[in-house]
Structure 1
Amino acid sequence: MRTQVGIIGGGPSGLLLSQLLHRRGIDTVVLEKHSRDYVLGRIRAGVLEHGFANLMREAGCGDRMDAEGEIHDGVYIAHQGRMDRVDLARHTGGNSVLVYGQTEVTRDLYQARADMDGVVIHNARDVALFDLKSAAPYLTYAKDGATHRVDCDYIVGADGFHGASRKAIPSDVLREYEKVYPFGWLGVLSETKPVSPELIYARHERGFALCSMRSQLLSRYYIQVPITDTAAQWSDDAFWAELKSRLPQDVAETLQTGPSIEKSIAPLRSFVAEPMRYGQLFLAGDAAHIVPPTGAKGLNSAASDIHYLYHGLVDHYLNDDDAGLDAYSEKALARVWKAQRFSWWMTNLLHRFPDSEDVDQQLQRTDLDYLFSSDAALASMAENYVGLPY
């Protein structure tokens, strides 16, 4: 098989890039090691920056998102028994975020790829990358008992942290940065009405909590737990009781509980790999970087990578201009590190660290008091939360 851009990974990043390029007449093949049902079964983020939403519209995939997604002009932070609101629209000149589940984003992209007869190959196992420093790189993969080959101009690795793409970069070229946090988030998805029309981030002596949503009938809640805990250790009743204990009393009293549809623990870590280009290979999304979910930057950081790659590839093929591709790694990493900084700040602001001392907790309280006493501080948080410009 021959294509212009071979994309490894059939999650939202790979599908979005494929869809955007196809609409500009650039040929792609997407390889995904799992089935479509498996990909759609993954429960992930649901807060989209305005830049990501605009990319979905440009890809022709924004109609259902705009019809069903929830525009949020602010977020709440609960601390010291009270709720304070960050007015995102006021502090960013009218910008907001859109709450729309990653599963629905992926579903819309799959439908768009099918409508355009886009090539998405599922159950493509044992993907391997070859001749990345040459002008003729290629991919191989196993399916149905045979090995297949895809010749490309460029390869995009959007295959996640454990994928083959980053591992194809020599160790003497790649530099990796990592910070692992000593706790995780226990998340529960339930068919219950959200407790708040906007997200609530809670800092409490017992640990962090987050009240989020996927729709007006589907809620997503999280509590900070030790990294050694397992989801099986937590009954639904125990989860709801702990969540209520970390929320202001008036909020806890209105919390609607119910059976969990999905329950899992996500570890928190920061990870960045540099560079994000090696020869004809470009890394995107979790293949190159992971952020703690506190700042809602994981999927959105991947989207910014796709923005830079998309425009770089369009300039190459349609305008014979390689400046965008040559600058990709530098541009993408500059924005990635700013997302890392924001996620690190929010994580440190709102979580209870196992080894924290009284002075650390007092500094957290003072940081929150300062945040809500300063328009400049609120503007900085709002600017980062809605998404820095590409």
Structure 2
Amino acid sequence: MTDQNASHPPLLGAHPHDEHLSTHMIHHGYTPPADFQAPQPGVFKASTVFFPNVAAMRQREWKDKSAYTYGTHGTPTTFTLEERLCSLEGGLHCVLTPSGLSAISVVSFSVLKTGDHVLIPDNAYGPNKVLAEGELLAFGVSHSYYDPMNPADMAAKIQSNTKLVWLEAPGSLSMEFPDLVQMVQICQSRSVLTALDNTWGAGIAFKPFNLTGNAQLSVDFSVHALTKYPSGGGDVLMGSVMTHDEALGLKMKLTHMRLGLCVGANDVESVLRSLPTLALRYDAQDQTARALAKWWQGQSACAQVLHPALVGSPGHEHWKKLCTPQGGVGYAAGLFSVMLDPRFTQAQVDAFCDGLSLFKIGYSWGGPISLVVPYKLESVRSAWPSGLKKGHLVRFSTGFENIQDLIADLSQSAQQNLIF
């Protein structure tokens, strides 16, 4: 019989000092050759980072990307994505965050303190407003909402303690395109910082740090929900904050560090893999959105189409100035809204959305599948926007389905559910 209490012999092998196998597997001496190149960069996962000696541990600096100290401060994988995003949008310093909203919070927490005031456009991404009404207000930071289509209203609401003005182009649901150039000029003349939610522009439609080809005409921060176009798959949550200012870059990085924000290496890998096709995907979804928006213009059920590239849509001339500086068709993303006739009931509008087959009901955008969401605009705006007709707002995000198939899907559900 086998003695159950007998100990196993030590697992020794042909390796230095006859180490135990478990020790040898951890401290194996093989290092692969460094000269390896492939289409995709390597994926480095780490919390602990090794130092060659104590002196190096004490001297290393992560804030300028010259060295590695700890996983939350960056790895070759995250540094690579940050630098590629800087190339995309034109910034100099970038940090990655777990979501678009967390990116917004990094900006606010970096530059605002008790007693400060922040201005937010009334058509901003809803959670940005909720953050101001929640944590920022609790921390003693006041806020006001301004008319995004009226630079004079924004200017009039800048107070002596206003430290930050948020900008959004176009508006989150109603798609108005503001006069970004004039708004940035006003803020610069008043020494007020600007932060732009550039998720829609994605670094493709226009450059936030070089508006209209003028490097001096620039926002101070660009926030990007990488969840959308940079990911492109509808399966990654991530955000970024970017600036081209050295002092703001340091503030941003320190706040990011103190909040303990970081992202998973495999999520970074997914975004890095998608970036090479970003321009192609953006253009394809843009073309589909324009085709669908024009189709809606010919439908009696539609009171108004909200798409910056369409003549007559609120802020079209501002979009044209910023996104088509050399003429041509420019870029406008795969996102648009329609205002369905007010004679419909909310139940009919909801039934129309439920009746769609190819369009899935879901938040976010920029992924491969087309999406639809009905919104009650009056519940998220201080007042009904002057440039919008009354009705029921429905927002569409285009994926990569065939345009004619999408039109057929819209048509069949409209015929069944949007009946006077």
- Which TM-score band applies after superposition, normalised by the shorter structure? under 0.3
For normalisation by structure 2, the TM-score amounts to 0.26
For normalisation by structure 1, the TM-score amounts to 0.27
Would you tell me which structure has more strand in proportion to its own residues? 1
